[in-house]
Chains A and B, each alone.
Chain A
Amino acid sequence: MSAKYVSAKRRRRLSKDNLWGWFFTLPFGIVFIVFLVVPLVYAFYVSLFTYTQVRGSVFTGLENYRRAFSDPIFLKGMGRVVIYTLVMVPIQLGLALILALVIDSMMTRLASASRLLFFLPYAIPVVIGALMWGFIYSKNLGPFTSIFALFGRQPPDFLSTNGIFGALVNMVTWQWTGYYMVILYSALRAIPHDLYESARLDGASELQIAVRIKTPMISSSLVMVTIFSLIGTLQFYTEPMVLRNNANSAIPPEYTPNMYAQALAFNYNQINYSATISFALGLLVVIFSVIFMRVTRKQSGLGD
């Protein structure tokens, strides 16, 4: 619409829009600038200095970034969270989708009870969930030793170097699957049911309906929860941090990039390099998310 045709009334409306639009969004804008933009800028500024114990802080420009992207610890941590993402996201979402479809197709009391119970772990803070699993994984304090003994087996060593990956995947799955399931389930409920009726009349099985009709119908929700869990996993922190108290040597202090940043800042007194790691991580997460959104651009619910 070109400006030529804008009537006087419309212009009044526009200036009103300007005033009130900014009025309503201003508080958000302030918080956004103070607690997101400023820390980001500051992280970047701090990351331009290099601190050494002997000489103190010196301006070194982008040198820290060169160091970060050739720092095996950072790269390994990054690689680790990418692997976690590749394993954890499909498991969580796959299970959440299957459960949502099953519950949606059943109208029994068991189904509605399950919906509530699966969701329960979400209401438990991640820290407390991790504390609990720390005990449960323990060979001597947890139940697995006696459960496996029923089958005459030794339980796997969850807290060893080899077991820790599975242990963390399981913790995250337990905590979040129910949440994603509820989102997907509510999306399923919103689909008009006559769609399935006609498919049933055409002789489609429940499985076919689930795969061919229901799942495509909720693809935008699927993309949304995928992005959440993607971002969540890339900034993996709380679970390994808490579990580390039970598996000190299986989870080194720099296990994930976020943990590395914390160790640098608080244990090794390397604030500048820590800010570099934080900033680099943020940058990589944005790049990952953008790639993902490009790949799934059609289904994406985000954007307008």
Chain B
Amino acid sequence: MKTARLMGASVLVAVMALAAGACGSPGSPSGSSNNEASQVHNDAKANDTAKCRNTVKKPNAEKVTVWAWYPAFGKLVDHFNETHDDLQVCWTSADQSAKAYSRFNTTIKAKSGAPDVIQLEYAVMPQFASGVEKHLVDLSKFGVDKIRSNYTAGAWKDVQLGGSKGVYGVPVDVGPVVMYYRKDIFDKYQVKPPTTWDEYEQAGRELKQKGYAGHIGNWQPNGTLFNYAYYDQNGAKVFKYSANDPENVGININSDKVKKVVSFWQKLAKDDIVATDDTDTAEWNKKNVDGSYATIIHASWLVGYLNGVSGVQEGSQWQIAKAPVWDQSDPDVNCGGSGMAVTDQAKHTEAAAKVAMELFGDDAAQDIAVNDSGLYPTWTKKLSSAAFLDRQEPFFGNQKINKIIAPVAQGYKGYQFLPFQTYANDEQTKTLSAILRDGKNASTSLDSLQQTLSDYAKQQGFKVSQ
């Protein structure tokens, strides 16, 4: 009887729910206007009362709100505000990547609350500029082409989102992929640091044979963007998307070139030549500094992790070399990086565009970005300056690391990312984890990943090609 009453109660709750549902509630949460003109606004006063994390130097000037999570961003904002009289940057949020994007999504749903200018990684830009979700302003009409020659070609491709007409952000930094290696370990076991993947495998086996307890390196199942870099190195363009053609996506993650790369690592993992640890965990940070890995193939920003965890500032045993290649014609590859984009909610779009273009746009700002924030520049002038190239890095025993990294940054050709890249990354992590850790068949697993991603794209209304 009690149960019957309880069941009745539950049903009643459900019925109440249904009844109230019939009354309807305000508009379903979704989309936005497709109209390009409605993206541009002209209200110079709207931000006068905005709450800023920084102290605005010239309180009477027009303010532009910015979300960014670059390290030492406050210093950069101060620099901008000191050198500008007509505009002042108001830094309103420092939420990091995923958190910032989900918050940006919320403001899109609510149609208010977004900043004028936002830091976005290249990989997520398409997500905010596709289908009904067109929330990034094309900066072409604000003279962005004039500064194009200041930036590397690859980074510029990234902010053009695969197209040729629009420019949806101003590039700030990139993550050139290089090899970090422990000189002491290679010396101790008298093994030569590898320059090709064949040598990498051999060196790994040799180290193991000679009694080294760690692994030559690590393949991270969750290192999604790194994995795209590995594929690219072997000539596989896994994703295609163009802002000019925003209803089509290309997915080709089960090509022979991808399978070759994955099978290579699967073999090394199976033979226990490489570890398969997730990156960005306490465990991984620990293994980076305790000699568990003889090499780490990583982006330029790894150095900050290494000295942050170990507390060592100079004279470590680490050295930097070019990442191993399949053959000498392989392209230079990149992982990550971000730029400043202007949102369709910018109160005064022209002013916002100016901030996006000028925030990192002079020598002093670039110095702060490189020295204080640890960013790897996309500014060609910086990349080719003698001071930058000849800088000796105390952590690497005064090695001139930029001589190796800068050419990689210059050589990067740009990638295309899907408008649902986060989903694709999560799915890829699952697939790679199954292949590398649980020994699943690489070829069929990648085939089914291709299927999963294509199905999702179709479900979202995109036309899919390879």
Q: Answer yes or no: A and B touching, Cβ < 8 Å.
A: yes
A residues at B contact (CB < 8 Å): 37-38, 40-42, 44-46, 49, 51-57, 59, 134-135, 138-141, 159-161, 245-250, 252-254, 263, 266-269, 271-272, 283, 286, 290, 293-294, 297, 300, 302-304
Contact A271:B460 (CB < 8 A) given known A40-B13, A159-B283, A297-B3: no
Do B459 and A52 touch across chains, with their CB atoms under 8 A apart? yes
User: Are B20's CB and A41's CB within 8 A?
Assistant: yes
Is A57 a contact partner of B30 (Cβ separation < 8 A)? yes
B438 contacts A by Cβ under 8 Å: yes
Q: Which of B3, B432, B459 contacts A293 (CB 8 A)?
A: B3
B287 within 8 A of A: yes
**Additional A-B contacts beyond A37-B20, A247-B281, A271-B30 (11; CB < 8 A):** A53-B132, A53-B462, A54-B247, A54-B462, A55-B461, A138-B286, A248-B278, A249-B430, A266-B105, A268-B420, A269-B105
User: Are A49 and B28 closer than 8 Å at their CB atoms?
Assistant: yes
Judge whether A53 and B281 touch: CB under 8 Å: no
**Bound CA span A283–B14, Å:** 9
Q: Is B25 an interface residue (CB 8 A)?
A: yes
Closest 9 interchain pairs by CB? A54-B461, A303-B2, A57-B30, A56-B31, A249-B433, A54-B131, A266-B102, A248-B222, A52-B461
* Contact between chains at B7 and A297 (CB < 8 Å): no
Residues of A within 8 A of B461 (CB): 52-55
Contact B423 A246 (CB under 8 A): no
Q: What chain B residues lie within 8 Å of A302 (beta carbons)?
A: 2, 6
Interfacial chain A residues near B316, Cβ < 8 Å: none
Question: Do A139 and B283 have beta carbons less than 8 Å apart?
Answer: yes
Instruction: Out of A44, A49, A54, A294, name the residue touching B17 (CB < 8 Å).
Output: A44
Assuming the contacts A140-B290, A286-B10, asked whether A41 and B281 have C-beta atoms less than 8 A apart, the reply is no
Cα A53 to Cα B419 with chains together (Å): 9
Determine if B252 is an interface residue (Cβ-Cβ < 8 Å). Answer: no
Chain B contacts with A in 230-269, Cβ cutoff 8 A: 247
Which B residues from 1 to 24 make CB contacts under 8 A with A? Answer: 2-3, 5-7, 10, 13-14, 16-18, 20-21, 24
CB distance from A261 to the nearest CB of B (A): 13
Measured in the bound complex, the distance between the Cα atoms of B269 and A186 in whole Å is: 53
Known: A141-B286, A161-B438, A268-B420. A55 touches B132 (CB 8 A): yes
- Whether B28 contacts A57 by the Cβ 8 Å rule is yes
Q: Contact between A248 and B429 (Cβ–Cβ < 8 Å)?
A: yes
Write the B82-111 contact mask toward A (1 if CB under 8 angstroms, else 0): 000000000000000010001001000100
Residue of A nearest to B437 (CB): A161
| Neighbouring A residues of B423 by C-beta, 8 Å | 267-268
Give the Cβ gap from B300 to chain A, nearest Cβ, in Å. 22
Cβ A160 vs Cβ B437 within 8 A: yes
Interface members, chain B 186-239 (any A CB < 8 Å): 221-222
Question: Size class of B's contact patch?
Answer: 35 or more
Q: Closest approach, in angstroms, between the C-beta of B417 and any C-beta of chain A?
A: 14
A54 engages B221 (CB within 8 Å): no
Residues A141 and B20 in contact in the complex (CB < 8 Å), given A248-B278, A290-B7, A300-B2? no
Secondary structure at chain B's binding surface: helix, strand, loop or mixed?
A: helix
Query: Taking CB as reference atom, which chain A residue is nearest B438?
Result: A161
Query: Which of B18, B31, B283, B438 is within 8 Å of A246, CB to CB?
Result: B283
Residues of B within 8 A of A304 (CB): 2
> What CA separation (Å) do A160 and B280 show in the bound complex?
15
Given A53-B131, A54-B132, A266-B102, the answer on whether A249 and B221 have CB atoms closer than 8 Å is yes
Q: Which residues of A contact B127 (CB under 8 A)?
A: 269
Q: Are A42 and B459 in contact (CB under 8 A)?
A: no
Q: Are B102 and A267 in contact (CB under 8 A)?
A: yes
Does any Cβ of A come within 8 Å of B133's Cβ?
yes
B372 within 8 A of A: no
- Give the contacts of B24-54 with A (CB-CB under 8 A): 24-25, 28-31
**Most chain A CB within a 10 A radius of its CB, from B16, B247, B279:** B16
| Residue from B98, B133, B437 within 8 A of A53 (CB atoms) | B133
| Interface residue? B390 (CB, 8 A) | no
A37 to B292, CA, bound (A): 54
Q: How far is the CB of A266 from chain B (nearest CB, A)?
A: 4
Bound: A132/B222 CA distance, A:
22
Complex contacts, A246 vs chain B, CB 8 Å: 278, 281-283
Enumerate chain B residues within 8 angstroms of A266, measured Cβ to Cβ. 98, 102, 105
Bound-state CA distance A254–B423 (Å) is 11
Q: Which residues of A contact B429 (CB under 8 A)?
A: 248-249, 252
Asked whether, in the complex, the Cβ of A37 is within 8 Å of the Cβ of B283, the reply is no
Q: Is B426 an interface residue (CB 8 A)?
A: yes
Contacts of A245 in B (CB 8 A): 281
Residue pair B420, A290 in contact (C-beta under 8 Å):
no
Q: Which among A44, A250, A268 has the highest number of chain B CB atoms within 10 Å?
A: A268
